[in-house]
Amino acid sequence: MLFVFSMIDALGLKLFVLYLMERSIFLAVYAQKKIKAYFFF
């Protein structure tokens, strides 16, 4: 039973990390576009 819970927990953690990475990549790209727009215009 505990093993199943730890598996679910590991999966949830992996998904959470992926979600955070996706968000940080999105924010980095967005910030880069903002900075480029700021410098060029």
CA 8/CA 4 separation, integer angstroms: 6
pLDDT of residue 22: 92
pLDDT of residue 37: 78
Residue 41's domain spans which residues? 1-41
pLDDT of residue 2: 66
Domain count, the chain: 1
1-41 pLDDT tens trace: 567 767 778 888 898 889 999 999 998 998 888 888 777 65
- DSSP per position, the chain: -HHHHHHHHHHHHHHHHHHHHHHHHHHHHHHHHHHHHHHH-
pLDDT of residue 33: 87
pLDDT of residue 40: 67
